[in-house]
Amino acid sequence: MQFTLMKESKEKRTNYEAAIIGAGPAGLTAAIYLSRARIDTVVFEKLIPGGLIASTDWIENYPGFPDGLSGGELGERMKRHSLRFGAKIEDIEVTGVALDSENISIKTAEGTYSASALIVASGTSPVRLNVSGEENFIGKGISFCAACDAPFFEGEDIVVVGAGSSGIQESLYLSKFARSIKIVEFLSHPTAEQILLDRIKDNDKIELLLFHKVIGFIGEDSLSGVEVESRETGEKKVLDVSGAFIYVGLSPNTGFLDGLLDVDPKEFIKTDPELRTSREGVFAAGDVRTTSLRQVATAVGDGALAAHKVIKYLEKKNEG
């Protein structure tokens, strides 16, 4: 049993040179770079450091950790790293952002903060399938967090929806608990990294069901089946399972912006190559912006670049 200590900064202030929304890899990297440049920086996080990676069982493609490490540990290490150089992390949800000619106002449940520059690094949330029964069975058999909920499915038959890297990685973890796992994939082929696909070949608990779509979740008090349809023949069948873990994509956490920034058709924030958004003084970094790859490594790169651009922006603003 490990005992994970999340260290907090206790100081309460409301005025900073730079603010960052989101303490995932992008936000915490930006906090490290800004704090080392002696920019007075606050990071807002509504849940826990690490963002979405905190619920990832194991990360083994982030350089410097050849044996891999849990997403929760990586997030906590990044948080400690940013605190070491003086960033403040506020455990508060941001509910709105407003701009005027001088400052950026960040509204939270515990009052309004102000900053001269802002990095939006609020990340993404798992996409839902939006099919019949899904809403009813979330928390009653449907889960989005294998690390949290795998022990409840010890010896059970379950489904994982999505054969991307997340779906396959989490299936490998779930196979330590479940009796059998069917991975249902909409496409005719899995899209995960080849190394993960090689691993499931050696795992006799895991079976791929390709070119099928989930059309509904069924049960009474809790989930008892997942209805799928073949995209080739149209044949429908029910998979008798007590659990379903959904990994079919990500949607950006941008609701609090209320249309403030230009976004793409999927609501990801548009940026230029220097990570500037459509509003002056506001930058975006990591999974929340329009990009072709969403990984810890790319988020970290974004965080560093966004911080660098904020430093330059503040220098220019202070000169002017």
Partner 1 sequence: MGLLSEEDREYLIQEFNKELIRDVELLHFTDMNDKSEYAVQTKALLGELAGLSDHIKLTIKDCSQKEEIEVEGLDLCPAIKVKSKRKGFMAFYGIPGGYEFSSLVEGIIDMGSDKLSLSDEVVKELSEIDGPIDIKVFVTPACPYCSKAVRTAHLFSLANENIKGSMVEANGFSDLARKHMVSSVPHIVVNGKGSFVGALPERDFLLKVKEVMN
Residues of this chain that bind partner 1 (CB under 8 A)? 1-8, 10, 46-48, 50, 54-55, 71-72, 75, 91, 93, 109-111, 138-143, 145, 147-149, 151-153, 221-222, 242-243
**Spacing of C-alpha 256 from chain mean position:** 16
The backbone torsions φ and ψ at residue 214, rounded to the nearest 5 degrees and listed phi first, read -80, 125
What does the alpha-carbon distance between residue 30 and residue 36 come to, in Å, rounded to a whole number?
10
As a whole number of angstroms, the distance between CA 242 and CA 78 comes to: 36
- The nearest distance, CB 47 to partner 1, in angstroms, is 6
C-beta closer to partner 1: residue 111 or 207: 111
Q: Which of 79, 53, 9, 91 is nearest to 286 (CA)?
A: 53
Beta carbon nearer to partner 1, 94 or 118: 94
Comparison of 6 and 131: residue with beta carbon closer to partner 1: 6
Residue with smaller CB distance to partner 1, 2 or 318: 2
Kind plus residue range of the DSSP H or E element containing 16: strand 15-21
Q: How far apart are CA 130 and CA 132, in angstroms?
A: 7
CB of 94 to partner 1, least distance (A): 10
Positive or negative: CA dihedral 230, 236, 238, 244: positive
Distance CA 127, CA 130 (A): 9
Contact between 68 and 60 under an 8 Å Cβ cutoff? The reply is yes
CB of 140 to partner 1, least distance (A): 6
Least Cβ distance, residue 164 to partner 1 (angstroms): 21
Q: What is the DSSP string of 89-129?
A: EE---EEEEEE-SS-EEEEETTEEEEEEEEEE---EEEPP-
Q: How far is the CB of 17 from partner 1 (least distance, A)?
A: 24
d(CA 52, CA 126): 9
Query: Residue 69's beta-bridge partner residues?
Result: 59
In the complex, the smallest distance separating the C-beta of residue 275 from partner 1, rounded to whole angstroms, is 27
Residues composing the chain: 320
For residues 48 and 304, which CB has a smaller minimum distance to partner 1 in the complex? 48
By C-beta, is 110 or 280 nearer to partner 1? 110
Shortest spacing between CB 255 and partner 1, in angstroms: 13
What is the 8-class DSSP label of residue 245?
E
What's the rounded Cα separation, in Å, for the pair 275 and 155? 47
Please provide residue 246's backbone torsions phi and psi, each rounded to the nearest 5 degrees. Answer: -110, 120
Nearer of residues 123 and 190 to partner 1, judged by Cβ: 123
Q: Which is nearer to partner 1, 81 or 308 (CB)?
A: 81
Minimum Å distance from CB 141 to partner 1? 6
